[in-house]
């Protein structure tokens, strides 16, 4: 599944690059970033995990890793549109029954970033919106009893960000806050289809060039 997501992202990324080669007019900006975020459970998320696992946990912080690109012609006046892939890798946490839980989630998204005040891409204050497809995975571990259970769910994520970009000669550095909300569906043994609703609030540091 992770290989499929990465392959799709590569294909989407290469399309505008090919277009740039053909037209030689469309500026494309690449970015890489690191960050952290507090995972959030919405609705009956803990109850869903308890049903599928026989136990649950309180979410902890995770580390973010992201890559993306934006196409932003000058005539768009600060608007950039592109694609972004983001993964979050959570730290191990103790569950309700003394078990340990390891979790991660990631998504491949279409994204838009707008610099409303400077009207120049990669300069000043910006807002960002993204929507994408991705997976949430958790693993319940109890080494004493040799218990190892996995649960994953696939679905849609919506993300919004507010940040500020400091431009340099050939690159730029951005600091942003981000909120994520996701609805994902999975299948549990003996229960069937289940919905898992989660999200994140956090911050990222992004280098673009």
Q: CATH number of 2-208: 1.10.1740.10, 2.40.160.20, 3.30.980.20, 3.30.70.920?
A: 2.40.160.20
pLDDT by 10s per residue, the chain, length 209: 545 444 544 544 454 444 444 445 679 999 999 999 999 999 988 888 888 887 888 888 999 999 999 999 999 999 999 999 999 998 888 888 778 999 899 999 999 999 999 999 999 999 999 999 999 998 888 877 787 888 889 999 999 999 999 999 889 999 999 999 999 998 887 788 889 999 999 999 999 99
For residue 56, the SS3 value is coil
Nearest to 37 by CA among 99, 106, 100, 137: 106
Q: Are 180 and 159 in contact (CB under 8 A)?
A: yes
Q: Are 32 and 206 in contact (CB under 8 A)?
A: yes
Quote the CA–CA distance of 44 and 41 in Å, as a whole number: 8
Q: For residues 155-181, b (16+ Cβ closer than 10 Å) or e, as one string?
A: bebbbebebebebeeeebebebebebb
Nearest to 121 by CA among 163, 84, 86: 163
Q: Are 163 and 183 in contact (CB under 8 A)?
A: no
Could you state, in order of their start, the residue ranges of all structural domains in the chain? 2-208
């Amino acid at each position: 599944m992770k290989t499929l997501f990465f392959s799709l992202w590569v294909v989407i990324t290469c399309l505008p690059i090919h277009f740039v080669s053909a037209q030689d007019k469309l500026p494309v900006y690449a970015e890489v970033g690191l960050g952290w975020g507090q995972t959030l459970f919405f609705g009956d998320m803990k109850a869903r995990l308890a049903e599928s696992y026989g136990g649950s946990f309180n979410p902890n912080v995770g580390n973010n890793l992201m890559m993306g690109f934006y196409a932003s012609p000058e005539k768009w006046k600060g608007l950039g549109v592109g694609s972004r892939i983001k993964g979050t890798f959570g730290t191990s946490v103790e569950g309700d029954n003394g078990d340990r839980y390891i979790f991660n989630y990631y998504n491949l998204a279409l994204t838009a970033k707008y610099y409303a005040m400077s009207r120049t891409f990669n300069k000043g204050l910006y807002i960002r919106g993204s929507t994408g497809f991705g997976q949430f995975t958790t693993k319940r571990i109890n080494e004493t009893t040799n218990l190892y259970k996995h649960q994953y769910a696939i679905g849609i994520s919506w993300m919004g960000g507010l940040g500020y970009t400091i431009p340099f000669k050939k690159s730029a550095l951005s600091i942003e806050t981000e909120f994520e909300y996701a609805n994902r569906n999975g299948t549990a043994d003996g229960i069937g289809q289940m919905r898992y609703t989660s999200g994140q609030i956090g911050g990222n540091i992004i280098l673009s060039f």
